Each structure stands twice: as structure tokens, then as C-alpha cells.
Amino acid sequence: MEKSPGLPKEKAGPVTETELPPRPWGRYELEEGCDLRIEVGPLALRVRRIGTEVWMAHVREDEDGTLDDESAEWTRWAAPEGSDSLRLSPCFPDRTLVVQPENPFHLLRGARIRVYVRVPLRVRLELEGQRSLVLSEIPTVILSDTWFGDVMEGELSYYLPTTARRTIEEKHFQPHLVACPIQLSNVSDDNLEVRDIALRVAHLSVFSQERRLWADETRARYRGASVGSDLRMSGKPPTEASDATLVCAPAVPAETGLRARTFARLMGRSFGSAS
């Protein structure tokens, strides 16, 4: 696969600080006795350094919008000597996202549309020192499980409701959200009712443009109900942010000619009798 120009030469993983988005992301010094509190959207992290141990707890916003630190549960790691700093970097969730527009729409044959979906990121915590060690990846938002497929086969995914906006403005950007442009086109002979879109985030990169986080563009071509859709991830910053820098490479590099189920209805779905 051809590498995009923004990829670092080393294998995807730790990147230099200049490639990380601004606070709350980035590097934090872990001095002895330090007690950090870092908020990333609705997620609050507490990090402490006690001797060679690193303690970490996290809480999320309650329904009333408060972060109750007292309810946090602590996790501890015994770190190797010389682990002096903590890096927070954004990454995508670990499963495919089933994106459901609040208002399903029809994509007529021959039509194309560009929508923007904001995906809640996960926070990757890495301990830096002689070598980089990943401590944990914490979702900023807990997404509900869902199933993409039918009752006999499919893939476990996360559910993400979206407005599938046609434009995106400055006010829509938040530290814990990444804007994913999706170009949909219908090259089949049928009209397509778009109710669910499987967004394969494992193949997406995260780019940073000042305080805005962008994913590379996903192009999905619907070729018919019996054939998988053609998927292509550009691997480059989207046109809306052409000067953005790479902060997280894809977990799984996308192969050219990726074909996968992207639009699917649950076949054979029935309630049945419980008796």
C-alpha cells in the first residue's frame, strides 16, 4: 500500500510531540508526588506518581454534567526506572462503528452526498522513558454495543447516532471528537435508503489542525444489495484541512480495493415466540 506523505518513518505508535494536537493531548511530566487532573471532553483523568508507581483513575460526566472524582477506581502500574512522562494521544475505538443518522435518508441512484460524522475518541496513555509503554486506552464516551449483520453472522460493533450533518463548523469541534467526512455514492441501479453506515475506523487516521481533529475521508460506493460496497480511505488529511498533521496512524492499514458491507439491513430479524 502506498504510504501517505504524513506517515512517520517508524512503525505506527509513539509520535513526536510536535505531531500531537494541543492540550488536553500531549506530554505531561510525571514528577514524584504529582497529582494531575486532565479533562478530555466528558472524561476526567487523575494521574499520580508515587515512587516508581503510576496511579490512574478516570470518571465521566454524570447526567447533571458533574465529574465526581470520589467515585473513581484507581489502577496502578509499577513502572520501570526512567519513566518520567505521560503522553496522551487520541485514537479511534477498537470496533467498527454503526453510524445511524437521526433522520434516515434516501440516496437515489447516481447520487452522491458528503456527510460529517463526529466520532468520540479514545485516550491512549503511554508512559515515556527508555521505551514507550502503553498503559491503557480509555473511551471518552461509552458507546453501546450493536450488531452489524444478521442473527447468524456479523460483527460486534459500536452504535453511534449522528445528525449526519452536511456542513461542519468551528463550534462542532471538541477535544474528544474527531470529524469524519464520508462521501457516499450510489452507483447501483437501485435507490438506497441509508439507515445505518458501518464506519470502519480501524482503517482511519487522525489528523490535527490547530484544535480541530479530522479523520481522512471515507469513500463508500454502493454497488447493490447483493454486493459489498467499495470502500476507500484516502490516508491523507481531508480537503477541508489539507494542512493538518498526522497524530495517529490507522490501526489496520486499509488495503486498496477494500470491499466490505457498509450498508446493511438486518436480514431475518424476527422477534419470534419466547415460549
Partner 1 sequence: MTIQQSPVQDTAAAAAPEGSIETVLVTEGLPSLVRAVLMLLFGLPAVVLLSRSLGRWLSGRYSAQQGMVARKLVFYVGLAIVVVSVLAELGFSLAPLLGAAGIVGIALGFASQTSVSNIISGFFLMAEQPFRVDDLIQVGPTTGRVLSIDMMSVKLRTLDNRFVRIPNESLIKTEVTNITRFPIRRVDLPVGIAYKEDVGRVREILLEVAAANPLCLIEPEPKVRFQTFGTSSIELLLAVWTAKDNWIELKNRIQEEVKARFDEEDVEIPFPHQTVYTGLATEPFPIRVTYEEGATGPDPEIQSMDVTPDDD
Binding site for partner 1 (CB under 8 A): 98, 100, 142-148, 151-154, 156, 159, 196, 266, 269, 271, 274
Give whichever of 95 and 259 is closer to partner 1, judged by the CB atom. 95
Whole-number minimum distance, CB 158 to partner 1, in Å? 9
Query: Considering the complex, what minimum distance in angstroms separates the CB of residue 274 from partner 1?
Result: 5
CA angle 243, 178, 138 (to 5 degrees): 130
Instruction: Indicate the residue among 50 and 156 with the shorter CB distance to partner 1.
Output: 156
What's the CA gap between 60 and 84, in Å, rounded?
26
Helix (H) or strand (E) holding 208: strand 206-209
Instruction: Write the DSSP string, 210-251.
Output: TTEEEE--EEEEE--TTSPEEEEE--S--GGGTT-EEEE--S
Shortest spacing between CB 153 and partner 1, in angstroms: 7
Q: How far is the CB of 262 from partner 1 (least distance, A)?
A: 15
Cis peptide before 14 (omega within 30 of 0): no
Q: Which one, 64 or 243, has the nearer CB to partner 1?
A: 64
CA–CA distance, 124 with 197 (Å, rounded to integer): 26
Q: Which residues contact 149 (CB under 8 A, 6 or more apart)?
A: 155, 261, 264, 266
Nearer to partner 1, 164 or 248 (CB): 164
Smallest gap, in angstroms, from Cβ of residue 234 to partner 1? Answer: 28
Partner residues linked to 198 by β-bridges: 98
CB of 159 to partner 1, least distance (A): 4
Grid coordinates in use for 271? 422477534
